Each structure stands twice: as C-alpha cells, then as structure tokens.
Structure 1
C-alpha cells in the first residue's frame, strides 16, 4: 500500500520544530496553496506546540510511504 501525506513544518518560539501532517493531499496541490495555508495557520495562531506558539514556516513536503505487509495475525 502506498500512502502520501503533506508535511508542513514550522518553528516555534523556543526554536524547535513542529510538524503537521495531512494525509492524502490532492494530486495537483501547489506550493502557493500550501504556503497560503501555512500563513493562515501562523496568522490565526491555530496550533500550540510544547515549545510555544508557532512563529515561522520551515518547510513543506509531500512524503510518499510504501508499506509491504508480510503477514497479518
């Protein structure tokens, strides 16, 4: 099974990383759309992290993961 997810990474007030993952992003997602969402998250202070409020964008990436199940019990 192949699974994709969008990873949006931010820096918090203490300088640590906070990553938000969204499974099954649309196929034609653009960097402009992702940046707009990340800006909205920062402007509205939508999430808290153990290191405090989110203060800046760090990265955004699409991650593809393939899992091959050998056996299920």
Structure 2
C-alpha cells in the first residue's frame, strides 16, 4: 500500500501531517503540489492550533505486508 504524507505549517507555526492512503502509483510531484496548495487555499480542515498556512514537504510511504499461515 502507498500512502501520501503531506506536511503543512499552520497559523501558529506548528507542523501538521495529513496522510492519504492508497495513493495512485502514477501520481506526479506537480499533482501533489497542486493538491497541497488547494488544501491550504480552500481551508478544508478544521485543525486545533490554526489553519493550514503553507505546504512544507510531502513523501510517499510504501508499506509491504507479509502474511504467514500459522495453522497448527
């Protein structure tokens, strides 16, 4: 599974992380930047400590799961 992790600075200077699970494999840096800017400009999240004010960073986190058959 791939998760997009976006970090923003809010109005009081704190860093706020927003994660989106199951991000597309072909998402581009430009799409991520545009999405982050849209989240800031449209103020879609109510966050304690103030509104999102600026994008800081973004990363894609890939998680791999390995299951084991433990039939006894």
Fold match by TM threshold 0.5: yes
| TM-score band w.r.t. shorter chain | 0.7 to 0.9
TM-score (normalised: structure 1): 0.82
TM-score by length of 2: 0.83
Measured after TM superposition, the shift of residue 37 of structure 1 is 0.7
Shift of 1:36: 0.6
Aligned residues: 69
Computing the radius of gyration from Cα coordinates, the structure with the larger value is 2
Residue of structure 2 aligned with 1:16, choices 7, 14, 17: 14
List gaps (5 residues or longer) in structure 2: none
User: If each structure's strand is expressed as a fraction of its own residues, which one has the higher value?
Assistant: 1
4+ aligned runs moved over 6 Å, structure 1: none
Provide the alpha-carbon RMSD of the alignment.
Answer: 1.5
